Structure 1
Amino acid sequence: MNDEMNMNDRTTDLRQQLIDTARRMAAAGLTRGTAGNVSVRAGERGGGFLITPTGMAYEAMESEDIVFMRLDGTAEGRRKPSSEWRFHRDLYRHRAEAGAIVHAHSPFATSLACLRRDVPAFHYMIARFGGDSLRCAAYATFGTQALSDAALSAMADRRACLLANHGMLAFGDDLGQALDLGVELEALCEQYWRACQLGEPVLLDAAEMRTVLGKFASYGQQA
């Protein structure tokens, strides 16, 4: 009985953390209105994830509005899940390190995505996402399995990608890191866009990016 109560308490807390993260995403300028979505891996009822509902303003959300989804694609709750639940599910299925996911239609990431451009190694912080570039996934209609497949391909060995004519997608170990990576991705897209207004950015070569990737392996505060 105590274990069940503790699980319920943890789930309620995680739902509120999810809502808080969605609101912080909007406050950071990554999304407007009801666009975008956030999810977090959850251990309840055999495993799955919690995700924001479709078409609902973040400020109006309550804990009970958050949808629990199993990895088989079935949903539980009083609301319908985000229309993009497929790429959330597939990332949790295929990327064990994914603890939370953010998707946004942020201005600069979306602008580059509409050009269907990868973001090359114009700045060493690109390495924070796991490679020497940020890829742009092939276009597919929103909410489809085809879009999820394209996103998974673009995120091979990466923690983020652009979605052609759509927006951005990023995952982290937890909600805090996922949001941080989303903010960093938008900042890099803005910097690249601005640099391109003045000319062709000078790119870091493969050898330097290998060095930077090695340094990022121990970057930040270590446990």
Structure 2
Amino acid sequence: MTDEERALRLELIESCRAMNRLGINKGTSGNISVRYGDGFLISPTGIPYDKLQPEHVVAMNWDATYEGAVQPSSEWRFHRDILQARPDLNAVVHTHSTHATALSILGREIPAIHYVIAAAGGNSIRCAPYELFGTQELADRVVAALEGRRACLMAHHGVIAAHATIARALALAVTVEELARQYLLCLPLGEPPVLSDEQIAEVLVKFKTYGQQSSAALEGLRQAS
């Protein structure tokens, strides 16, 4: 195991633990994957996050074979298929966060109630139709729901958030949960007003440089440290 791979495995483990600390997951119901080498690394099935060691993280190939005796998450199919279908995404985070899962039970997508929905890539967060967990049918539904998006709900199941890094995918999962909570708080008063496609398009452009420091500023900080 190279230093690079070990660091990625440790980041994956810490992010699994962070899901529970952040309150967006319970127990081992969630899972995380990240692109690496000629395949991907994925959290194992059934091992408590606080017991995870780098050797427990499973290295999988695109043909579904994997190294070692530790079994991968039962949801490896949608992790694999998302990463194969979307070269722009390198990490996938799956949670059963409470409010987003509640919306998934209702079969509702999240509309553009807040501009931050653009972080998921568009003007909505779709809800993929129900399929049994761990199946190819579910993977197919998820890949379709993620077209042009970085996050989706899964009916009667939970949430998927994907991004360029584990950290960004995890942050997006938190954002989806907060959007779901806001939407559910609005619904007792009726369907909330939503931002227009044009307004979301403006946000998408703005997000391309949002939160980024200039190279000159970063160099200045480096020299001052």
Aligned partner (choices 193, 202, 220) of residue 193 of structure 2: 202
SS of match in other structure, 1:76: coil
Cα shift readout 1:147-175 (whole Å, capped 9, x = no counterpart): 00000000000000000100000111111
Q: 2:185, 2:138 → 1: CA distance?
A: 28
Gaps of 5+ in 1: 1-6
TM-score, L = length of structure 2: 0.92
Residue identity over aligned pairs, in percent, reads 48
Q: Determine the structure 2 residue equivalent to 1:180.
A: 171
Q: Does 1:146 align with 2:137?
A: yes
Cα shift readout 1:151-204 (whole Å, capped 9, x = no counterpart): 000000000000010000011111111111111111111111111123321111
Q: 1:197, 1:79 → 2: CA distance?
A: 46
Stretch moving more, 204-213 or 108-117: 204-213
SS of match in other structure, 1:221: coil
1:152 corresponds to which letter in structure 2? V
Aligned partner (choices 14, 31, 53) of residue 25 of structure 2: 31
Gaps of 5+ in 2: 216-225
Matches within 5 A, 1:94-173: 94-173=85-164
For these two proteins, the number of residue pairs brought into alignment is 214
Q: 1:218: how far off?
A: 2.4
User: Which 4+ runs in 1 deviate beyond 6 A?
Assistant: none
Q: 1:140: how far off?
A: 0.5
Aligned partner (choices 47, 54, 58) of residue 56 of structure 1: 47
Aligned partner (choices 193, 218, 222) of residue 209 of structure 2: 218
Q: 1:217: how far off?
A: 2.6
Q: CA RMSD for the aligned pairs? A: 1.2
Q: Does 1:69 align with 2:55?
A: no
